[in-house]
Chains A and B, each alone.
Chain A
Amino acid sequence: MTNLLRRPETAGGADAAVAAPRATGPRFHWRDYTVYIAFAVIFVIFAITLSGDGFLSSNNLTNIVAQTAPISIMAVAVTFVIVAAQIDLSVGSVAGLSSVTTAMAIQQWGGIPGVIVGVLTGVAIGAVNGTLVAYVGIPSFLVTLGMLGIAAGLAMWITNSAPKPIIDQTYNDIFGSAEILGVPILVLWTLVAVAIGHVILRKRPFGRYVLATGGNEEAARFSGIPTRRIVFTVMLASGVVAALAGMLYAGRLQSGRFSWGQGDELSVIAAVVLGGTSLFGGRGSVIAALVGSLLIGMINNGMLILGLEFSQQQVVRGCIIILAVALAGRG
């Protein structure tokens, strides 16, 4: 697999290994905790400065989690992609496309076919990405950059850039606005996705194989791991999960539109990297990626309450991401 970036330790590590075991146990990695510290710091700052504006109300806090759901869910799948030393830039556009295909299918055939079409959209794009990256050998950066354009273009093309309303209330409830025991369903979607992702990465053989493939593809192959199939699978899963995120946008906003999710790839990748996942592959955490997503969601929410304009929000968001990633040990 072509790695987007060269792993720096291959050269320097040569000397390290000659010496006898030195450090006692694993070293303390600041970057494993940066995201939690950053989250706490920014939370406290907002809690103090914005307490009068309702930032701390439980309503607002749940709202942050619910609104961030698509980012959080995509971050789960993209964690696997980045751990496997790949990248997926197409997730935001795929979300937009699936919101549109789902809405159109619901208009045509009803709720259940709509859900099936939405998922199949993700399967199709994920399979194309996965095949090109894993079996044809094109760098994932290029494949998914191209797919970003293709998916966004398709979504505009088939809708003439117009929103497609969804009037199926069951769909809108399940994928958007329902509450179960007072908990918004988007929060539940997030928790389920994170739980599944965490268990697969930490407790299933597949997760270990993704870690090994990203850590050293050659050694993984020499250990009998089908590394191409692993890479294909994470790219496929990323497409499917991005489609699901688009369906959540569609449910919450009761419509499909090409612009839903547009640009989300930056927030998603930032969330994953903030969570300490190495851009070089081989290590990562789903839970930390969730905290990274929530951090981004919280910043967005705080800036909204502060009344910052969209342009100003973008500048602040960019600064915070650079700062946090720098603190997290430069990927």
Chain B
Amino acid sequence: MGVSANGSAAAAPRLRASGIEKRFGDVEVLRGVDFEVRPGEVHALLGGNGAGKSTLMKILEGVHQPDGGTIELDGERVSFPSPHAARAQGVSMIFQEFSLVPSLTVAENLSLGAEPRTTGGFLDDNAARRAARERLGRLDADIDPGARVGRLSTAYWQLIEIAKALTDDTRVLIMDEPTASLASNEVERLFELIRRLRGEGISIVYISHRLEEISQIADRVSILRDGQMVATEDVADVSIDDILEHMTGEQLEAPSAAAPAAARAAANGDGARPLLSVEGLATRTVVRDVSFTVRPGEVLGVVGLMGSGRTEVARALFGIDRITAGTVRLDGEELGLGSPRDAIDAGIVLVPEDRRLQGLVLMHSVESNLLLPLYDDLTKGGLIDDGAGGSIYQRFAQRLRIKTASPRTPAQQLSGGNQQKIVIAKWLASDPKLLILDEPSAGVDIPTRNEIGEIIRSLTADGKAVVLISSDLTEVLDLADRLIVLREGRVTRELRRDEVHSEPELHRLVQVA
């Protein structure tokens, strides 16, 4: 499993990056990365969170400048001081978030910034439409250039986005998670398009978390781990297991390192009465049929790919998304979850996925954010009892070690980790029975991440239950007693922690369960 196919094998590389170095402050994000793409090749780039994928792509796209190393395009040394420069030299990127203006037509979007004009200086709509039709025709995309983009489905958006990125000079096209928001038949169409572009000799760098796709579409795969390129292989020569071992740096069948969690799971026993039992849950979004139980003192890990319904299950249990079918019982009692208030009153709380948008009123003080769900019970003679509020704040700020200049500091001035602690603290203060955490460690520094782990453990020691939703499988394996795997709105696997022996194994379950 050594590094193979290194340049000498076939045609001269279209794009070659050698010894790329990049650091942000003290953090070395890329350490001498070599990466090359051949003409007419689909080259998958893989790596876990923080492996350096997006930094490498941003360097190739001209967003970041490398601190060391060289980039060659068709044997010629190049530099990309800006995305515009990269594009002019034939390297374009299609971002995960689309860059289209919904209120404009397809033709207007495609000509944005370079609108054709008549001799009188007015916009030439006909020319813009002709050009759009031509560019879409190249992709064999049947889209009316006069249609407003906002009325088209996301699959079309992506096509338009690709049409926008492709110019006559395009030599390398970088696609970041292009299938994340596509349905399965749309994915097939996208793959056809990718093969077509490959046939035209365009090189495609394909970034995805979905490993099955890699074997379907890619010719070669390169894997980054901790800022280094650990392998470049022909896709035909590697299995998903091989890829996972490279990504995690762990042997697939290695015995579990986290024995304590397994021991706890055993101690809890399978016989305990469930605190929460969910049966046949469905919502109007992606959740189709989800059933599971959580026992007191237990951490249930919920894993699944993006779009599997992880977050949506949490939203339904917290009364945000309406439940269209199924029952939710807490302590045996069926709950009607019409609003977050219903969930909170029953003892279910949620630390949401996006703490800045959903968790905090950023302009308000740390203290008022922490006390926000509690004010109804914090009154004396009808008025808010600031003394009682202050002491609750002190207790939880100390317990969670929230670092802030003052309780009155606006929440937006705190670090991501401390912000997350405020969101957790506001729910601990309401003394819930079940705490749901959705991606609690996203954008949080390592020490805080460990502290969040400690908080979760101390909660379960008090007999509370935790549902931990995370795409960080290391975290799930560290903390969960049991796991469920979601896929397309259904539970595909349910297992005890001690049934999972390694992180690559769990990765595989998430990918192909």
User: A interface vs B, CB < 8 Å?
Assistant: 9, 13-14, 16-26, 199, 203-205, 208-209, 211-212, 215-216, 218-226, 282-283
Contacts and interface: CB of A to CB of B under 8 A. Distances in A.
Contacts of A209: 375
Most chain B CB inside 10 Å of its own CB: which residue of A24, A208, A218, A224: A224
Contact of A221 (B340, B365, B382, B412): B340
Given A23-B405, A224-B373, A13 B415 contact: no
Given A9-B412, A13-B362, A208 B356 contact: no
Contact of A23 (B361, B384, B409, B415): B409
Contacts of B413: 16-17, 21-23
B324 to A, nearest CB: 20
A223 B358 CA distance: 9
B406 A26 contact: yes
A204 to B, nearest CB: 7
A221 B320 contact: yes
B372 interface: yes
A25 B409 contact: yes
Contacts of A220: 361, 372
Give the secondary structure class of B's interface: mixed
B14 interface: no
Nearest to B365: A26
A218 B358 contact: yes
Given A13-B412, A17-B416, A222-B350, A215 B364 contact: yes
Given A25-B409, A224-B344, A203 B363 contact: no
B118 interface: no
A221 B372 CA distance: 11
B17 to A, nearest CB: 27
B426 interface: yes
Contacts of A225: 372-373
A215 B361 CA distance: 6
B340 A16 contact: no
B341 A224 contact: yes
Nearest to B389: A208
B358 A211 contact: no
B412 A205 contact: no
B352 interface: yes
Contact of B363 (A18, A24, A208, A282): A282
Nearest to A18: B416
Contact of A20 (B344, B357, B375, B415): B415
B193 to A, nearest CB: 33
B320 A208 contact: no
Contacts of A19: 415
Interface in B336-368: 339-341, 343-344, 350, 352, 356-365, 368
A42 to B, nearest CB: 30
Interface in B357-403: 357-365, 368, 372-373, 375-376, 378-379, 382-384, 403
Contacts of B359: 219, 222
A225 B372 CA distance: 9
A212 B362 CA distance: 10
A186 to B, nearest CB: 28
B418 A21 contact: yes
A203 B361 contact: no
Interface residues of B, number: 44
A283 B173 CA distance: 47
Contacts of B403: 20-21
Contacts of B375: 205, 208-209
A26 B410 CA distance: 7
B102 to A, nearest CB: 16
A16 B418 CA distance: 13
15 contacts: A13-B412, A16-B412, A21-B414, A23-B409, A26-B410, A203-B383, A205-B378, A209-B375, A211-B368, A215-B363, A216-B362, A222-B340, A223-B373, A225-B373, A283-B363
A17 B358 CA distance: 15
B372 A216 contact: no
Nearest to B315: A222
B273 interface: no
B363 A9 contact: yes
B341 A24 contact: no
B228 interface: no
Contacts of B77: none
A68 B192 CA distance: 72
B415 A9 contact: no
B406 A17 contact: no
Given A17-B415, A209-B375, A222-B358, 14 more contacts: A17-B356, A17-B416, A18-B415, A21-B403, A204-B379, A208-B368, A208-B372, A208-B375, A212-B368, A218-B358, A219-B360, A220-B361, A224-B339, A225-B373
Nearest to A283: B363
Contacts of B408: 25-26
Contacts of B365: 26
Nearest to A212: B361
B419 interface: yes
Contacts of B79: none
B170 interface: no
Contacts of B277: none
B404 interface: yes
Contacts of A224: 339-341, 343-344, 373
A24 B361 contact: no
Nearest to A202: B384
B376 A216 contact: no
A126 B63 CA distance: 51
Interface string B300-323: 000000000000000000101000
A2 to B, nearest CB: 16
A212 B369 CA distance: 9
Given A204-B382, A208-B372, A224-B373, A17 B412 contact: yes
A22 B415 CA distance: 10
Nearest to B339: A226
A204 B380 CA distance: 10
Nearest to B411: A17
Nearest to B443: A18
A49 to B, nearest CB: 40
Closest 7 CB pairs of A and B: A205-B375, A215-B361, A25-B406, A203-B383, A216-B361, A224-B344, A224-B340
